[in-house]
A and B are shown apart, each in its own frame.
Chain A
């Protein structure tokens, strides 16, 4: 990896993107029939499946029931073949548990939980291929799955990462959006932000990797926020497309008339 830089002298990143360019996002809602909601999302080469079960009655662990709102349960797992080096455990390690907790917090603040007292909503995420920004891809996929399940959200939850390329030849350092795996391993700070773009609120923010000078936080965070807003546009288009398709299918099969 010697000589590989976050940003080349021509202003291009290791995979040829510009600093403010997202990777291609492709997604599909309703990939499975058994869960109440499901979605598949590709962000470049990061591929995630999400499944949502609920809201349903709390069967096990009744102590976790809330009398005034729904209990949200998230589980993050990575397929053993998701990384180039074979993983030994798909879930349950420290990192996954931390992800579970963060996901819980994000969706507790995004789902209108007060509508479902004494119930439980399960959100399961499975990373099929990991190529950077896994957590963000999971949040975006979970949003689509929740919408597919018809669970009321305050807004789309959109997540995006950003980093900072060191300054070159006197120019100021450049913030870059949607970090891929190579860029993650090259070092530099990693900021992950989950927002409700239309409410203009941040529900989760995490900074990791090398330290970041205070004066750089603003531009890096702003990059992630714009990235999240751009992702919302993509998700919104996908949701509208999916709903139009469902409506069309109903009309063709003649179920729409009396429903």
Chain B
């Protein structure tokens, strides 16, 4: 994503390591870097999560708004993804510099969530054909050190798990417009979302005949092609994408292997993430944010 300047020698060093299944930080090709997760640190949002994947850092916040349902799906709500590449991550994102990447990432996320299998939009309906919830999922990229979309998808799933929607009751109608009353946060009448089927996106980077899971920014700079696969916990692929200018040979074994590996890794990642979220929700540690 961000420009990394690597010399031929550095690239060769990474390549030779990968041939022996050892990476710069001592991992094997199929291992993730340590992941840190924190929930509920944005006070102005209905749900939020921060994911730190070594030196990739994203903050995801979910805000609920009342909106009109889409005319072709009157009994469903809306998901709206917005990605903001903060200049804090790299000076290249200054001004409008991060916009292209932001649009790309937001489109990829909404595609991964488009299928009913990943997120049941009918749970967001308030009154069929008239009112629904719109979830604004805002992603803020604070540092990018590779595997950005993996971190974003984990953050989104965790933020959705952290989100509670206030209960709505109709208190009257006035010439076709409904008067709605939201339950107060204080009386605890809030409902959690059904987030368990949400997908995790896994990026696999191809370097010669090897496939790298969770590549660092330096490794991404050496790789010929990448494959992004959205995997739901029940082993279903919700989206695939080959970003950038690389390509895979269509009839090569490596492509099939990549898809299989992505599903394996994705399912494991979903399980680990769900366990981490559950642990967080039971222990409820006070948010430390960036002070740790």
In the bound complex, CA of A203 to CA of B86 (Å): 27
On whether the beta carbons of B84 and A128 are closer than 8 Å, the reply is no
Complex CA–CA separation, A45 to B44 (angstroms): 10
Taken together as a complex, chains A and B put the C-alpha atoms of A84 and B44 apart, in Å, by 5
Residue of chain B at shortest CB distance from A50: B88
B26 close to A (CB within 8 Å): no
Contact with A along B107-147 (1 / 0, CB 8 A): 00000000000000000000000000000101010111100
Our pick among A33, A45, A73, A84 for the contact of B55 (Cβ within 8 Å) is: A33
Do the beta carbons of A129 and B42 come within 8 Å of each other?
A: yes
**Chain B contacts of A35 at CB under 8 A?**
88
Inter-chain contacts of A125 with B (CB < 8 A): 88
B82 at the interface (CB under 8 A from A): yes
Show 30 residue pairs from A and B whose CB-CB distance is below 8 angstroms, ordered by the A residue.
Answer: A28-B292, A32-B88, A32-B142, A33-B143, A34-B55, A34-B143, A38-B88, A40-B290, A40-B291, A42-B289, A49-B142, A51-B87, A73-B94, A79-B59, A79-B84, A80-B84, A80-B136, A80-B138, A81-B61, A84-B44, A86-B136, A90-B84, A90-B86, A92-B96, A122-B91, A124-B86, A124-B88, A126-B140, A128-B42, A129-B42
Partner of B94, one of A45, A75, A126: A75
CA distance A129 to B289 in the complex (A): 12
Can you name 5 extra interface pairs (CB under 8 A) apart from A34-B89, A42-B289, A126-B86? Answer: A34-B55, A38-B88, A84-B44, A92-B95, A124-B91
Residue numbers in A under 8 Å from B89 (CB-CB): 34
A82 within 8 A of B: yes
Residues of chain B contacted by A116 (CB below 8 angstroms): none
A83 CA to B291 CA, complexed, in Å: 21
Which of chain A's residues has its CB closest to B136's CB? A86
Q: B63 touching A31 by the CB < 8 A rule?
A: no
Is B87 within 8 A of A124, CB to CB? yes
Contacts of B43 in A (CB 8 A): 45, 129
Q: Is residue A47 within 8 Å, beta carbon to beta carbon, of the partner chain?
A: yes
Which chain B residue lies CB-closest to A76? B87
| Contact across chains for B94 and A122 when beta carbons are under 8 A apart | yes
Main secondary structure of the interface of A (DSSP, over half): strand
Q: How far is the CA of A91 from the CA of B57 in the complex (A)?
A: 20
Q: Are A129 and B55 in contact, with the CB atoms below 8 A?
A: no
Instruction: Give per-residue flags for B38-66: 1 if the beta carbon is below 8 A from chain A beta carbons, else 0.
Output: 00001111001000000101010101010
CB nearest to A41 among chain B residues: B290
Interface residues of A in 63-92 (CB under 8 A from B): 73, 75, 77, 79-84, 86, 90-92
- Smallest CB-CB separation from A54: which chain B residue? B91
For A92, list chain B residues within 8 Å (CB). Answer: 95-96
Q: Are B87 and A77 in contact (CB under 8 A)?
A: yes
B290 touching A51 by the CB < 8 A rule?
A: no
Determine if B142 and A80 form an interchain contact, defined as CB atoms under 8 angstroms apart. no
> Within 8 Å CB of A51, what residues of B?
87-88
Contact B289 A40 (CB under 8 A): yes
Q: Are the CB atoms of A81 and B145 closer together than 8 Å?
A: no
Q: 6 tightest CB-CB pairs across the interface, nearest first?
A: A40-B290, A81-B61, A51-B88, A124-B87, A80-B138, A124-B88
> How far apart are the CA atoms of A38 and B88 in the complex, in Å?
9
In the complex, chain A residues whose CB is within 8 Å of the CB of B210: none
**Is A79 a contact of B138 with CB atoms below 8 Å?**
yes
> Do A81 and B291 touch across chains, with their CB atoms under 8 A apart?
no
CB distance from A207 to the nearest CB of B (A): 28
B9 CB, nearest partner CB in chain A, Å: 22
- Indicate if B90 sits at the interface (CB-CB under 8 A): yes
Contact, CB under 8 Å: B87 / A34: no
Q: List the B side residues contacting A83 at CB < 8 Å.
A: 44
Query: How does the 8 Å CB contact mask read for A20-61 relative to B, with 1 for contact and 0 for none?
Result: 000000111001111100101010010101110100000000
Inside 8 A of B292's CB, which chain A residues have their CB?
28
Most A C-beta atoms less than 10 A away, residue of B44, B88, B144: B88
| Assembled-state Cα–Cα distance A122/B291 (Å) | 23
> Given the interface contacts A33-B55, A79-B138, A129-B43, does A49 sit within 8 Å of B88 by beta carbon?
yes
Q: Which residues of B contact A26 (CB under 8 A)?
A: 291
Question: CB distance B44 to A82 under 8 Å?
Answer: yes
Q: Nearest chain-A residue to B60 (Cβ)? A: A81
Q: A86 near B88 (CB under 8 angstroms)?
A: no
Given contacts A79-B59, A81-B42, contact A28 B291 (CB under 8 A): yes
> Are B87 and A81 closer than 8 Å at their CB atoms?
no
Query: Is A77 within 8 A of B86, CB to CB?
Result: yes
Report A-chain residues with C-beta under 8 Å of the C-beta of B86: 49, 77, 79, 90, 124, 126
Contacts of A122 in B (CB 8 A): 87, 91, 94
B145 touches A34 (CB 8 A): yes
Residue of A nearest to B86 (CB): A126
